Structure 1
Amino acid sequence: MPMAHRILSVDDSDIAQEYIRAALSDIGYEDVVSFLSSNEALEALSAGTARADLILLDVMMPEIDGVELCARIRALTDWADTPIIMLTSRTDMDTLQHAFMAGANDYVTKPFNRVELQARMRSCLRLKSEMDRRRASAGRRGGGDGAAIAELAEVLGNKAGYQAALLAIPPAAHHRLGQIVLRINGLSETADHPSGDLPTIYRSVAGLLGAVPVPARALFCHWEGDLFCLAMPDSTEQDMRTTAQGFIDAVAGASLSIREGWTRLPLSLSAVLLPPGGRTPGEVLVRGIQMAERLVGDTEARIHVVHDAVGAR
């Protein structure tokens, strides 16, 4: 059955647009508006002559590239929280982090798997619908910024949800939000365990972390791979240290179930703490993930603190 959502696609390639239309049709999205020009797409969105429930943006485009276009769309009040998924053949961390900092909810690499694209689109659309409902409910109750953040906590669980929630946090509450980025130490496809066990290890660690008590209004997600994120409104650096240590202790010495049975793996976590400051949640998140990526050689549990997301100690 065709889905009622309208999808807006921006890609400068005719061939790519045909492929996107066919792929979307195969997974149930028939209402697709295509733009070959990023300038034309931006003009239509600015003028209100285009409508969409979700936007797909190619990263590499002339005139305005996808990351810049994403940022300009986010600056438009009517499109500030419409889900945006980047389609890219580039997987380097800098490009992806710039995309997230610009306001993208998620990305899919080309050539994309249709099942993966469908899952990510459904996740973004479901989250948007739920956040709209919860914000409307909070508005009727007269809740403030803190209430709005709290209402989003139950929606999370994955990267798209976490990013969407950060985008929905009112600007007045940005300076009160701290974040923690966690990385599993010592995991790689060259480690002593089979690479096929990595997804199982990620799921097992996610279960361990999910059982750790966190403040009532904290937002937790498995970002991707060996990275996990937590947003903590109205928390001190000491609160964040205590929470990070709780995550570290939960993983330390854990026995994880993999294909060969219960196996004791030498797992540990490193935590990057980003206490509340003056930057936007997206900027802070990017710095935290970049810092976590540089900890690839860590083998021992450590807590790193980044003040105002500009320096670490």
Structure 2
Amino acid sequence: MAHRIMSVDDSEIAQEFIRAALSDIGYENLVSFLNPLEAFEALSSGQETADLILVDVMMPEIDGVELCARIRGVKDLVDTPIIMLTSRTDMETLNHAFLAGANDYVTKPFNRIELQARMRSCLRLKSELDRRHSGGGHRRAPRVPVAEMTEVLNNKAGFQAALQAVPAAVHHRFGLTVFRVVGLHEAADRTPSESAEIYGSIGGLLGAVPVPARDIFCHWDKDLFCLATLDATEDSMRRTAQTFIDAVSQVRLSYRESWAKIPLALCATLVLPGKLPPASALGQGIAAAERFANTAGPGIQVTSPVAVGN
């Protein structure tokens, strides 16, 4: 059965563009809402269902971040993937979106191939969560995923599913490390295949770094890589992060931009274990990693996740 997609955007022009874009990539089963409150009422009442929800950030009455938070407050919608569509690139807004429960975001005007890739990733996440929740005649209490971790190596959807499956009683046991490549300029004149080759080379180096079997490593997006660690301390996270950084520096990777040869390095943001759900803490870690890479360059920084409003 075709996936049911919901689009929530107050612009009729944007809705037409979304409908055309989704049709081009094979998603015909679409329901659209111009009013976010009406969309929430339809979802929460069961009048409408969705396998994935696309939400614009800037909307009247309530914005997309608030709508995301309200959707996550409905028990039956906790696992429904949400992708934010935004023309804003400030990480503070995106951080709040992740904390509210968003799974991913696409910046407007979006590339259709990129949107398709992110939608497929989120739909795989939903399938993985549904698979874990279906345990025959009765539902078991969730447990820390250990044996399954090798199944989700380098899989963003699986990484998200594993973090979301962690029960609240053990949130304090999970540390996260967000790695970002330093030296890659967004405005550089690189073809998509050249960028993919760079990411693949770095991913291959990082994927070869030995970590405990119960840890999870994945290529999150472009120049971002993530590691989830069980029973981590700051010292152990620092040592592991340095191992990853050294794996890149020792190879002396570089790429050519115009006439210059640009060296590539790695920086690491350690998100220490706390009370926040790991999936929410990851959003803060990604935001901190973006700021750190843009200002400090290679190295390690430490951050502790905080609840919204703190």
TM-score (norm 1): 0.83
Query: What is the Cα deviation at residue 39 of structure 1?
Result: 0.5
Partner of 1:222: 219
Specify whether residues 141 and 60 from structure 1 end up closer, same or farther in structure 2 by C-alpha distance, changes over 3 A only: closer
Q: Name whichever of 228-237 and 41-50 sits farther off.
A: 228-237
Aligned-partner Cα distance in 2 for 1:138–1:239: 39
Specify whether residues 202 and 45 from structure 1 end up closer, same or farther in structure 2 by C-alpha distance, changes over 3 A only: same
Q: Name whichever of 103-112 and 36-45 sits farther off.
A: 103-112
Query: What is the Cα deviation at residue 214 of structure 1?
Result: 1.6
> SS in structure 1 opposite 2:134?
helix
Specify whether residues 21 and 291 from structure 1 end up closer, same or farther in structure 2 by C-alpha distance, changes over 3 A only: closer
- Map 1:1-313 → 2, pairs under 5 A: 4-136=2-134, 144-147=142-145, 151=148, 154-155=151-152, 157=154, 159=156, 161-188=158-185, 195=190, 198-256=195-253, 266-295=263-292, 296-300=294-298, 302-308=299-305
Specify whether residues 136 and 48 from structure 1 end up closer, same or farther in structure 2 by C-alpha distance, changes over 3 A only: same
Aligned-partner Cα distance in 2 for 1:236–1:8: 41
Contact kept? 1:56, 1:86, Cα under 8 Å: yes
Specify whether residues 186 and 27 from structure 1 end up closer, same or farther in structure 2 by C-alpha distance, changes over 3 A only: closer
Structure 2 counterpart of 1:47, which letter? Answer: S
C-alpha root-mean-square deviation of aligned residues, in Å? Answer: 3.1
Specify whether residues 64 and 161 from structure 1 end up closer, same or farther in structure 2 by C-alpha distance, changes over 3 A only: farther
Aligned-partner Cα distance in 2 for 1:89–1:54: 20
Alpha-carbon displacement from aligned partner over 1:228-287 (angstroms, at most 9, x marks no partner): 211112333333223212212211221448689xxx964332222222112232442233
Structure 1: gaps spanning 5 or more residues: none
What is the count of residue pairs matched by the alignment?
302
> SS in structure 1 opposite 2:228?
strand
> SS in structure 1 opposite 2:113?
helix
Aligned-partner Cα distance in 1 for 2:250–2:189: 19
> SS in structure 2 opposite 1:222?
strand
TM-score (norm 2): 0.84
Aligned-partner Cα distance in 1 for 2:143–2:98: 23
Aligned-partner Cα distance in 1 for 2:41–2:153: 32
Contact kept? 1:217, 1:233, Cα under 8 Å: yes
Structure 1 counterpart of 2:134, which letter? Answer: A
Structure 2 counterpart of 1:37, which letter? Answer: N
Query: What is the Cα deviation at residue 66 of structure 1?
Result: 0.8
Contact kept? 2:6, 2:32, Cα under 8 Å: yes
Query: What is the Cα deviation at residue 218 of structure 1?
Result: 1.8
Contact kept? 1:255, 1:265, Cα under 8 Å: no
Q: Name whichever of 38-47 and 180-189 sits farther off.
A: 180-189
Aligned-partner Cα distance in 2 for 1:280–1:11: 28
Aligned-partner Cα distance in 2 for 1:158–1:187: 23
Query: What is the Cα deviation at residue 76 of structure 1?
Result: 1.0
Contact kept? 1:253, 1:265, Cα under 8 Å: no
Structure 2: gaps spanning 5 or more residues: none
Structure 1 counterpart of 2:131, which letter? Answer: R
Specify whether residues 67 and 162 from structure 1 end up closer, same or farther in structure 2 by C-alpha distance, changes over 3 A only: farther
Specify whether residues 75 and 101 from structure 1 end up closer, same or farther in structure 2 by C-alpha distance, changes over 3 A only: same
